[in-house]
Amino acid sequence: MKAYLGIDVGSVSTNIVVQDEAGKIHAGIYLRTMGRPIDALLTGMREVGACIPPDLEIAGAGATGSGRYLAGVMIDADVIKNEITAHAVAASMLVPDVQTVLEIGGQDSKIIIMRNGIVTDFAMNTVCAAGTGSFLDQQASRLNIPITDFGELAHSSGAPVRIAGRCTVFAESDMIHKQQMGHRLPDIINGLCEALVRNYLNNVGKGKEILSPVVFQGGVAANKGIKAAFERCLNLTVIVPEYHNIMGAIGVAQLAKEEVQKTGCTKFKGFHITGLSYRTGSFECGGCPNACEIAEIYEGDRVIGRWGARCQRWDIIN
Amino acid sequence: MPRVTFPHMGESYRTFKMLMNDLGNEVVLPPRPSKRTLDHGVRHAPEFACFPFKILMGTYVETCLLGAEIIVTSGGVGPCRAGQYGQLHKKILLDLGYPVDIIVFEPPRLHPIDFLRNIQRLNPNRMSYRAVWDCIKRAWQKLIALDETEKITHVVRPREIVTGSTTRIYRKVLEWIDRSHSAKEIEEAHSSAVEAIKSVEQDPERKVLKVGLVGEIYVLLEPASNLEIEETLGNLGVEVERSMFLTGWTRENTFSETHETISVKDAAMPYIPLCIGGHGMESVGHTVVYAKRGFDGVIQLAPFTCIPEIVARTILTSVSKEHGIPVLTFFLDEQTGKAGMSTRLEAFVDLMKRKKWQDELPEHNAVKKGQ
């Protein structure tokens, strides 16, 4: 049976899916990137390679996420696509008439407006990571609560406490203040969820026409507190798909399928890459005053990818 | 001979180098803004100052280290703090122990006497006004040649067959213009530069999107400050039209307002009826004009914390809706990581492509099949 591999290497998580022609998910893996995208990808590929049925043939592969170029050269992806397109494709596969996609990941939060299956507008958070998963992560570890319990705790709150949401620094000092005043932890966490949603809608969602059906995806969608805060704020039902945390990978697997239908065959190297050694390095180019920081990735002794140059000097010629 | 320097703004330094030399000054060339420039700039500038301030700060420190004695820069009109940057830069440089003077050129239309006095300070050989005027005329001609050549690269790059060939030729022809000196030489260099770029091998059949660039002047004009967005867009198959060139800006601030700027202001009128400083009004006006001219999208470039552009950005949301043109905003600061920008640009290009060629694209069909 033919299946397609989708890889999403994000700042916080690395996700891999294997999806067959009919859209059935045979493997869906969510791993923490932990600052080491290559290791995360290799671990994930090993797990996927071990758990898929032997009769499944990978007929196409795609990469997305901020580490898409890295992942793309490691596996020889058929398609390398940005996360916005990948997320939009995945959302409309699962909720065909979707009009709004809210996506909150580790470092990025985005909103995608779709009409009749076409992306008509999108926005991403700009210079600030307030209102993203990383901040929630950081607060969870400060409070010594597993991030997975965050949503339940918020859910059990009777009265949210108001927390400043514009900037993580303000939010944190507000939270500490409220905690020292004696507010209950669930109320503070619920307040944080509301602050995050407020920040998202005022910042990323500014001026966007949010219409139902609304799909909420990305790692943070697992947080019931945030979902409930969105529903209260928007006065709309918010759908969290089953595979909400690996939607980018699902989308890019679908795009890989489309690409292979065009090209006829896949470039995917195969699962044996998990046995190869990869290493990265970087250096500063001295060719001109730009002093570009060049990053490169080696497969064995061979350079397979280079980034960061502003000219063609370091292009790899195959 | 006084050692003179000036800010680095795209390729315009080639003109100022010639002009300052002709007037009898020694020129300390500002280096292209780099990591080193930013290091100096961020270290000595106030934390809350905007990105252009920090780049200029860094450039000035670099040129002071090379022995510059006089810095020539431009002032500004309206309520944008850039108007005071020259004075603040000077204070900081003096505090750092560089005995430097800054000559700030304010729009001559508003301050004619000041303008003449400044010119005299840069005229150590006391050349006649007529001779000075002659030098300025040639510098102007060179500036036009540089701007016009750059405009052509924006048209050719998205259609080039060999990626990077336009940029390669462009680098070469810039040197031709750089070397030209007399009016006749500049004219010849200009026309051969244009010819050379036009002769880059192109695919006339290629479908190309057209995007307008609006925003704050420094981040628009200095590619080192905007992560070479024009080149990146060109490589993604997008023809760029930038709303601002130094020749255009000088024209409207020196002599009188041109027909084009008047229509841009008219277009902005329903949204921003008065000058809000910087180029906020122009950003809105140009977006309306681009929409009317049938562009596929507009990209706004703004320095982080730039008030006029923040105001414009908020208004552009409704301009985008009313005129049906997608608008993407980038706030630029000292980050050099390009990943965030290329993700957004790629997605923006996907969006425009789908809007324009709805049924021809596979991704679109992929999305549609879900229905």
**CATH number for the domain running over B208-371:** 3.40.50.11900
Per-residue pLDDT in tens (0 to 9) along chain A, 318 residues: 899 999 999 888 899 999 998 888 998 999 988 888 999 999 999 999 998 888 889 999 999 998 899 999 999 999 999 999 999 999 989 898 999 999 998 778 899 999 888 888 888 876 565 667 888 888 888 888 888 888 889 989 888 888 887 777 888 888 889 989 999 999 999 998 998 898 888 888 887 889 999 999 998 999 999 999 999 999 999 999 999 999 999 999 999 999 999 888 999 998 988 888 999 889 988 887 677 788 889 998 888 888 877 777 887 765
pLDDT at B369 over 50: no
Asked if residues A220 and A200 have their Cβ atoms less than 8 Å apart, the reply is: no
pLDDT confidence of residue A318: 54
Judged by CB atoms closer than 8 Å, whether chains meet at A290 and B32 is answered as yes
> How far does the CA of residue A182 sit from the closest CA of chain B (Å)?
35
Taking each helix axis as running N to C, give the angle between helix B165-179 and helix B129-156, from 0 to 180 degrees, rounded to the nearest 10: 170
Q: Where are the domains of chain B?
A: 3-127, 138-207, 208-371
> How far does the CA of residue B93 sit from the closest CA of chain A (Å)?
23
User: Is the minimum CB–CB distance between A310 and chain B shorter than 8 Å?
Assistant: yes
Beta-carbon contacts below 8 Å between A and B:
105
Chain A residues with CB under 8 Å of B342 CB are: 82
Nearest CA in chain B to A79: B363
Judged by CB atoms closer than 8 Å, whether chains meet at A92 and B333 is answered as no
pLDDT at B256 over 60: no
At B203-227, the pLDDT tens digits run 989 999 999 999 999 999 999 899 8
Judged by CB atoms closer than 8 Å, whether chains meet at B371 and A92 is answered as yes
pLDDT at B371 over 50: no
Where do the H-state alpha helices sit in chain A? 37-51, 68-75, 83-94, 133-143, 147-155, 168-181, 185-203, 224-234, 247-263
> What is the C-alpha to C-alpha distance for residues A299 and A311, in angstroms, rounded to an integer?
23
pLDDT confidence of residue B254: 56
- pTM for this prediction: 0.83
pLDDT confidence of residue B130: 92
pLDDT confidence of residue A226: 92
Question: Given pLDDT bands bounded at 50, 70 and 90, which one contains residue B367?
Answer: very low
Choice between B353 and B178, residue whose per-residue pLDDT is larger: B178
Give every CB contact of residue B87 below 8 A, 6+ residues apart in sequence. B102, B104
The pLDDT of B260-271, averaged and rounded, is 82
- Which stretch of DSSP H or E encloses residue B362? helix B362-369
pLDDT confidence of residue B260: 59
Closest residue to B31, CB basis, from A120, A122, A289: A289
- In chain A, what are the domains? 2-88+248-275 (3.30.420.40), 96-240 (3.30.420.40), 278-307 (no CATH)
Rounded to two decimals, the ipTM of the complex is 0.76
Judged by CB atoms closer than 8 Å, whether chains meet at A84 and B34 is answered as no
User: Is the minimum CB–CB distance between A96 and chain B shorter than 8 Å?
Assistant: yes
Length, in residues, of chain B? 371
Q: Please report, for residues A152, A156, B191, B351, the alpha-carbon distance to residue A149 in angstroms, rounded to integers and kept in the order given.
A: 5, 11, 69, 37
Residue A74 CB neighbours (<10 A)? 25
At B142-164, the pLDDT tens digits run 999 999 999 999 999 999 999 88
Nearest CA in chain B to A88: B367
pLDDT at B370 over 50: no
> What is the C-alpha to C-alpha distance for residues B89 and B99, in angstroms, rounded to an integer?
12
- B57: amino acid identity, one letter: M
Give every CB contact of residue A241 below 8 A, 6+ residues apart in sequence. A91, A94, A95, A215, A217, A247
Asked if residues A175 and A88 have their Cβ atoms less than 8 Å apart, the reply is: no
> How far does the CA of residue B76 sit from the closest CA of chain A (Å)?
27
pLDDT confidence of residue A138: 85
Closest residue to B347, CB basis, from A84, A117, A118: A84
pLDDT confidence of residue B357: 80
pLDDT confidence of residue B262: 63
pLDDT at B362 over 70: no
> How far does the CA of residue B252 sit from the closest CA of chain A (Å)?
33
The pLDDT of B25-33, averaged and rounded, is 94
pLDDT confidence of residue B215: 95
pLDDT confidence of residue B355: 81
Q: Please report, for residues A65, A130, B133, B334, the alpha-carbon distance to residue A107 in angstroms, rounded to integers and kept in the order given.
A: 11, 9, 55, 18
Task: Work out the percent of chain B whose per-residue pLDDT is above 70.
Answer: 91
pLDDT confidence of residue A126: 64
> What is the C-alpha to C-alpha distance for residues A208 and A123, in angstroms, rounded to an integer?
9
3-state helix, strand and coil shares in percent for chain A, rounded to the nearest 5: 40, 25, 35
The pLDDT of B17-28, averaged and rounded, is 95
pLDDT confidence of residue B79: 72
> How far does the CA of residue A247 sit from the closest CA of chain B (Å)?
14
Class of domain B3-127: alpha beta
- B239: amino acid identity, one letter: E
Output the average pLDDT for chain B: 88
Query: Does the fold of domain B208-371 match that of domain B3-127?
Result: yes
Nearest CA in chain A to B345: A82
Give strand pairing partners of A80. A63
